[in-house]
Amino acid sequence: MCFPNNFIKGITDSQCIIEDGSIASHLFNFKDNADRDDGNLEQSINWEDDNDAISFTLNQKKDDGSIQFKAGVAIVPLEEIEQLNQKHTVNIVVSYERDILDNNPYHGNLLIPQSVPKPTRRKFAAWIALGVSNIIPRP
């Protein structure tokens, strides 16, 4: 399956955006969720497949019709995930997938094995945050 160079992470809380232009690490946390049966934890992303992906993400709405990502979006090169897997000394793999939804053709997930302890998950979140290439706040 072909993936684009970047993925997009929506930002719901403006406090995640630091005044110097960086992003808080907890935005990329893998939270405990038991929705999958393949032993992985997931966090939602959108793939930057085309020029419309960013504006689509910025305008995504929740079920109640309100804007989902009130603060903006962060752009992360997929290369950061590939390098993270190479950098880490223990054989833990952060993987990714497409997960197209009826109302979101760009949707996907970052995945990490559920067995990975929380300290390591949070370290990976910080690593991804360190690799953010651009932050686009909501206008």
Partner 1 sequence: MTSFVQETNTRMIFPLPESYFVSGSEEGATWGGGIQDSYLPNSSSVESAWEVISGLENEDVARLSKKVLTSIQHTLTSLCALNFAHCDFPDLHAFIDDEGIVSIEWIFSQFRIGFVIDTIITDSSWYLVSNGELGDTNASGYLFENDINKHVQWLISFVISNS
Look at residues 139, 117, 112 and name the one whose alpha carbon lies nearest to residue 28: 112
Residue among 39, 51, 66, 87 that touches partner 1 (CB under 8 A): 87
Q: Is 113 in the site for partner 1 (CB under 8 A)?
A: no
CB of residue 19 to partner 1, shortest distance in Å: 8
CB of residue 8 to partner 1, shortest distance in Å: 20
Helix 78-87 with 118-130: angle, nearest 10 deg: 130
Residue among 33, 130, 137, 138 that touches partner 1 (CB under 8 A): 130
Measured in whole angstroms, how far is the alpha carbon of residue 26 from the centre of its chain?
A: 11
- Binding to partner 1 (CB under 8 A): which residues in 62-81? none
> CA–CA separation, 77 vs 100, rounded Å?
20
Are 128 and 118 in contact by the 8 Å Cβ rule? The answer is: no
> CA–CA separation, 45 vs 101, rounded Å?
12
From 49-57, 64-72, 101-109, 113-121, span contacting partner 1 (CB under 8 A): 113-121
Binding residues for partner 1, per CB under 8 A? 13, 15-16, 18, 20, 22, 24-26, 29, 31, 87-88, 117-120, 122-123, 126-127, 129-131
